[in-house]
Structure formats: C-alpha cells, structure tokens
Amino acid sequence: MGTYSAKPAEVEKKWIMIDADGLVVGRLATIVAMRLRGKHKPTFTPHVDDGDNIIIINAAKVVLTGKKRDKKVYYHHTGHIGGIKERTARSILEGKFPERIVEKAIERMLPRGPLGRVQFGNLRVYKGPDHPHAAQSPEKLDIGSLNRKNLRSA
C-alpha cells in the first residue's frame, strides 16, 4: 500500500459560510486557514489545493482580546525611502474596509508562494451580513460552538 496523493481533478470543494459576529480574530483565522489548506480532510496533500471555499460575513464585528484593539499595529511600506506607515487595529476596524483585519490574519497563516496565493483566493470576506454567493448554497459552520473561547462580547 503506497501513500495516497490527491490529484487536482479528484478534489471535491465545498462552500462554507461563517458568521464572524463576536468571534475572536485569531481563533477564527486558525480554523479558516486550516480549512482553506484542506488539512481537515483525510485526503490532505501538501502540494494540492484541496481546501474548501469559505465565505465570512459580519467581519466588521470581530473581537480582539485584551488591549489589542488599541495597541496592535499593522505596518506597510510605500516603497519610498522612509515610507513605513502604521495603523492601529481600531483605525482599520472603524475605517472603510474593516474586513482587512480578518483577511490579513488568515493570509499570514497560509504558506507563502503560488499555492498559498491560490488557496487565499478561495476566501471571500464581507463586512456586513450580505453576500452574493447564495447560488453555491454554502453550509453554515458555527465556530462559536466549537470552543467557548472562540466567542467573546465586544
């Protein structure tokens, strides 16, 4: 009996919807990153994209524990000399694109490289409760009920 290696044609992708209202960002990100990679499946193959397609709604209502909302800093560089910029998590969550907090947390848990970029493309994050993927009939995944620490009040 040899080691099983899944081929891209054999992979079955499901659509999963997660309501992020009141969920802790890091705990949400670890579960989503694992499902995007396909590590929850017995047919996991490291070099094949066999993860699911994931839709996250209400991303603006996620919770950061402790004082991270005020003290966590996100950096980016403009490309010019001395062009490092910083924003706090509070300013991002109160800004125009609060879903970027969740996207960055998940993106940084995925492998870097071509496969990681493809897997990250299977993620859709929306700040409100509406999403345009009703035709895919996604299954609901209740992360708050998996562990009592996953759910917090703001």
pLDDT score at 48: 95
User: What does residue 40 show for φ and ψ, rounded to 5 degrees?
Assistant: -85, -5
Q: Which two tokens stand for residue 135?
A: 């035709």
CB of 37 within 8 A of CB of 112?
Answer: no
What amino acid is encoded at 26 in this protein? G
Nearest residue to 90 via CA among 139, 154, 16: 154
pLDDT score at 154: 59
Q: Does the CA dihedral 81-82-84-87 come out positive or negative?
A: negative
Per-residue pLDDT tens digits for 25-40: 999 999 999 999 999 9
Per-residue confidence in pLDDT tens, the chain, 154 aa:
789 899 999 999 999 999 999 999 999 999 999 999 999 999 999 999 999 999 999 999 999 999 999 999 999 999 999 999 999 999 999 999 999 999 999 999 999 999 999 999 999 999 999 999 999 999 999 999 999 999 987 5
Q: Give me the DSSP letters along 35-103.
A: HHHTTTSTT--TTS----EEEEE-GGG-B--TTHHHH-EEEEE-SSTT-EEEEEHHHHHTSS-TTHHHH
Q: Give the C-alpha distances (Å, rounded to integers) separating 75 from 12, 24, 147, 154.
A: 37, 21, 31, 24
Q: Does the CA dihedral 61-142-149-88 come out positive or negative?
A: negative
CB of 101 within 8 A of CB of 23?
Answer: no
In three-state secondary structure terms, 18 is strand
